[in-house]
Chain A
Amino acid sequence: MQIFPFVVVVWILGVGLYGVITSRNLVHQIICLIVVQSSTYVLLLGVGYLTGGAAPYFYDVPLQTRAVDPVVQALALTDVVVEAAVTALLLAFAIQAHKRFGTLDPHELASLRG
């Protein structure tokens, strides 16, 4: 349990990268990119976790409660929403590529010129 979450992080990263590299469809590639991005969220939250700690919200618990790190949660929070918008931009590019070249296969796209 000492390093198991971090091993899962590098597993998700590796699996996602494998999908990106061996993909034959642009939309499939973009979805594998989403998986790669999600591994960083798990890493961020895993770094800030404190055993026996509560969520860092003190509305109804005393102020002296042990809580997990709020800074990495703030990072992961904005991360999730912003990367969804960037994924939408990537999908718009995929639509444009399909319109111009007629194919969503990255191998065929690489060999077309002009």
Chain B
Amino acid sequence: MNNPLDTLWYTHSPVPTGLGIAVESGRLARAFQPWGTRIQALRESSDREVREAHFDHHLRNSVRHGGNIPAIWARASGRDTRVLGLSWSDEVQLIVTTADSPVRGIRDLRNRRFGVPKWANVQIDFTRAQAIRGLENALRLEGLSLHDVEQVDYPYGGTYSDDPVRHVHGAQVSLGNRVRQRNNELIGLLRGDIDAIFLKGAHGLHLADEFGLRVVVDIGSHPDPLVRANIGTPRTLTVDQHLLDQHFDAAVLILDSVLRAEQWAWAHPEETRRFLARELNTSEYWVAAAYGEDAHLRLRTNLAERSIEALQDLTDFLERWGFIPHRFDVRQWIEPRPLAHLLENINVAI
């Protein structure tokens, strides 16, 4: 490594990511060991500022693999980050209602009350953005728009990074003793205050089963990728510009570790499912139900055209609804050199 890197900060969302597998299997640490680089989890920091970098990516020499909404927001807010890769793991994205609701299809949502979370103190409210995206995409399938439903906000205090997390038996667990009522819009649905909400992934499926909810639509299984495009489709693998400029080898090594972890996953469905269950803090059954029996094959980081188009579409969506101050061209955001370098010099399949 030309310019030695003292510390690499990493973070990955508790969702299926190649970086998550690279980190939790020890692969990333082993890759950097010969260079004397320390690998540090930024969400485990005792400093809230550092933890918040999972969302605003302000930390120098850091890598993040996870939901695209905070990454897009950070870039739109002037943060100097670059996308090294995009991964597309389709997952269930549900609009749900109660079992006895008259809402049966998407059209029935017209003039109904739809509950969305609203975090008052966060820089970027990804929970709200993903719910609105899911709702809009569902409504459009029937020629409807968000104006046709009544949005009901469910406020939350605090931020997403109030407490440090630790990996305990594989699960990212918040250390704080703070009791904060969660799933407020689900409670609103159960109380009959609203008619429908958005749920996604393994936890969404589990909650739908727990409360016997009716699935109005799963847009995560729609054939059109732009309908499925949301916070996790595609996920972004990003680093800061400084890392690329000063430690290009490190950026290549990160991407190499991610691609190798994903290749390992393709050949190890059982172990990968266990990894994902631990990471998501759910059961292997719910992982398979939410991410498919082929969840291990869905871990593929590349710069596919489909993912780039979806990322642009999502960026435009976020600007349209005021989540980001202005739109930008995602192709300018993507830095293809590390991937190109790997494809030229190292035998990795993508």
Do A and B form a real pair? no
Query: Which positions in A face B, CB cutoff 8 Å?
Result: none
Query: Which positions in B face A, CB cutoff 8 Å?
Result: none
